Amino acid sequence: MTKDKYYIIDFDSTFTQVEALDELGEITLEGEENKAEILQRIRDLTNGAMEGKSSFTEGLSKRLALLKANRRHLKPLIQLLQNRVSDSIRRNKDFFQAYADNILIVSSGFKEFITPIVTEYGIKEENIYANTFKFDEQGNIIGFDEENLLSLDRGKIKLLEELALEGDVYVLGDGYTDYEIKEAGLANKFYAFTENVVRDNVVAKADNVAPSLDEFLYQHKLPMAISYPKNRIRVLLLENVHPRAIELFKREGYQIETVSGALSEDELCERIRNVSVLGIRSKTQVTKRVLEHANKLMCIGAFCIGTNQIDLNSCLDAGVAVFNAPYSNTRSVVELAIGEIIMLCRNVVDKSTKMHQGIWDKSATGSVEVRDKKLGIIGYGSIGAQLSVLAEALGMDVYYYDVIERLQLGNARKCETLRQLLEISDIVSLHVDGRTNNEGMFGKEEFAAMKDGAIFLNLSRGHIVDLPALVEAIKSGKLHGAAVDVFPYEPATNDEEFVNELRGLPNVILTPHIGGSTMEAQENIGTFVPSRIMEYINTGNSYQSVNFPNIQLPELKNAHRLIHIHQNVPGVLANINSVLAGNQVNILGQYLKTNEQIGYVITDIDKLYDKKVIEEMKQVPATIKFRILY
């Protein structure tokens, strides 16, 4: 590295995720009655200075006066800041060590807490430019060195003028004072760093926006910890995915686009171009045609349990991994089922409707307890199994039927046939998946086999039940009641009318596919699915993908990771290793797993290799997708 390029990096909200003086206030004001009010005044002063709306020097004096800090408070502050280093700074520690001569920390913060943080990353102490505190004899912070240029308004400009750096200067920071360096003609470019905070007026002035240090390094062709800047990952989220997912994707540095409802096939074909990650719930259909338009799609997140709305085989052909949330909303669905069972047994829906009409129908006729009733569960997966546990706690006798051998919980008893379950159950609850061969599995014959006066619940998939047969069973009195949460056709948005033959029938609970729609479940899903997607993108880990071969990978250390997705045909692994051997590449680890359609090969290699190996890997016959992680 020659001495003709310098990288000026801010500290607060850039090197670290937070403003240090704001955090110092959290420490020094502990126990103060008006702590919240004082902290807000400190934050307002900080933001005013960082946005160029007020005098920095005046604001700094006011902040220190409000803090009432002592030297003893600096140690816990430093410990806090060590844990709040920005994610992209943390993962690019090698860059700071390799380019230490050319990196300057220029901050209006204070050396007393900046130096211990940044020197851990290899930054030289002589390259740290910041303010210093003044202390009294008791160690109280009583001010700052007023002769330090960085304590002055436009102090960073004055410092850079004094340094007179010979060469190209690039500034990375979140505040207006960082932009002023470029405005004064002392830097080639200013990059607004937005990983932690976005100041609109600063972004508007910037030459470029850097949502992470990776983007900055990428643009300057500098070594970085990941194979591409994360802001080049475009995420399209449909159907009101929980804000937690948006927060996590943004924190990772991805570009986010959201749509409140589902999209039609034509609309999705248009919108999915250049999208890397697609997030949907249950209404959006991801077809083969949609995938043909997805030129950059890496993975799909189903923010729900089911994936029958996604053409999984076509995803495999395209090398697109699919992740769902198989357990995140289990409890929510089960609680709804339990509640509906009790309400139907007590005729609560009809009683409530009459009350709203002014009819006082106080009668025990047809109302029964759930205790000692026989609950038949069809589908004993995660939801069915948990339902059996809660139902048993209510005193119900639980039976289940599943085509797959499952471990029974508690005193639940397995039925050998579906008919056996139907004939003995007072209440039947359906919890099977949405695979194609389950379509129409519950119809006229199944309702006929049930006990007279039984109760029926479907909280699984709409296309599994023959609705006309269900309607007839209710109208004829065969069923005492029913609860349905899923339907063969469901409105795409809340503005569309729900049209269905079940409307208006007695003792029937209809809910708009809300089995998993609780705040807890949606937040759990909004956390789980992005975590699996980001793990796949960042490490290649395909664990818990619903369509890809599942591989749990070790941490990538001091190596490059080659990720190869190919058709499952003979000879591909041999061809991959032939390319590596032909280029004298040292293999540190290799992991392979296949399914009927694709093979997934992960190879960790030494960092030193001829770059032509990358192009040769892409040309291996039967290759679907190839990428590399650094």
Catalytic residue numbers, as ranges: 461, 490, 513
Q: Helix, strand or coil for residue 302?
A: strand
Q: Helix, strand or coil for residue 100?
A: helix
CA angle 282, 284, 287 (to 5 degrees): 120
Interatomic CA distance for residues 220 and 197, integer angstroms: 22
Which of 390, 394, 398 has the alpha carbon at shortest distance from 335? Answer: 390
Alpha-carbon distance values, 309 to 280, 289, 292, 293, 536 (Å): 9, 13, 16, 17, 21
Q: Does residue 335 contact residue 314 with C-beta atoms inside 8 Å?
A: no
| Residue carrying the six token digits 């200067």 | 169
CA angle 381, 382, 385 (to 5 degrees): 75
> Which residues lie below 8 Å from residue 214, measured CB to CB, with a gap of 6+?
88, 91, 92, 224, 225, 226, 228, 229, 230, 253
Interatomic CA distance for residues 126 and 119, integer angstroms: 10
Q: Does residue 338 contact residue 387 with C-beta atoms inside 8 Å?
A: yes
Alpha-carbon distance values, 498 to 439, 475, 486 (Å): 21, 20, 12
| Residue carrying the six token digits 């590399």 | 628
Alpha-carbon distance values, 485 to 213, 447, 508 (Å): 46, 18, 11
Write b or e for each residue in 215-251: b if 16 or more Cβ atoms lie within 10 A of its Cβ, otherwise e.
Answer: bbbbeeebebbbbbbbbbbbbbbbbbbbebbbebbbb
